[in-house]
Amino acid sequence: MEQRAARTPGAPTQGAAPSLRWRVVASPVGPLRLAAEGAHVRRIAFTDGEVPALPGPDPGTLEEAVLAEAARQLDEYFTAGRETFDLPIAPRGNEFRRRVWWALADVPYGTTVTYGVLADRLGLPPGSARGVGNALGANPIVIVLPCHRVVGADGGLTGFGGGVARKEALLALEGSALL
């Protein structure tokens, strides 16, 4: 099952090894590596100079089309204030992680939420903020699944795989009330 506009969880993939295709796009927060499999975005990650070990998309393929659309929407996010994404995403992860990632879709553009509040929204028991943080640290589709909008209990900019400077830049771009 695919996921659009960060609302419907994708099904876990099992069986044969994935045939991911990739492209790197420039952004104000550094290069982003986008990866797709078939008609689904599987990964958007900061590259930090990393050279992806995945093949690029073949012309005319579903991967080429979905990667082009992802690049277009990301460009709109950075340049024109796009607030939501409408991409077929299907990140890989266990059921708990995917639940946490989908909950990010309910954190509106320009706002933040704490790890604890996100855990509460998921109906998790008290003390689950650390587990939520671990799931967010494994978020394979940054920006589209906006883990940068999750902050520490004191409002501090902690726990972002792309680094605190990127988190701050993304929140500033969105005009977050936190800054």
Active-site residue numbers? 147
Those residues whose C-beta lies under 8 Å from the C-beta of residue 141, and which sit 6 or more positions away, are: 41, 42, 43, 44, 89, 91, 101
Decide if 38 contacts 63 (C-beta within 8 A): yes
d(CA 82, CA 155): 24
**How many residues does the structure list for the chain?**
179
CA separation for the pair 28, 45 (Å, rounded) = 14
CB atoms within 10 A of CB 19: 11
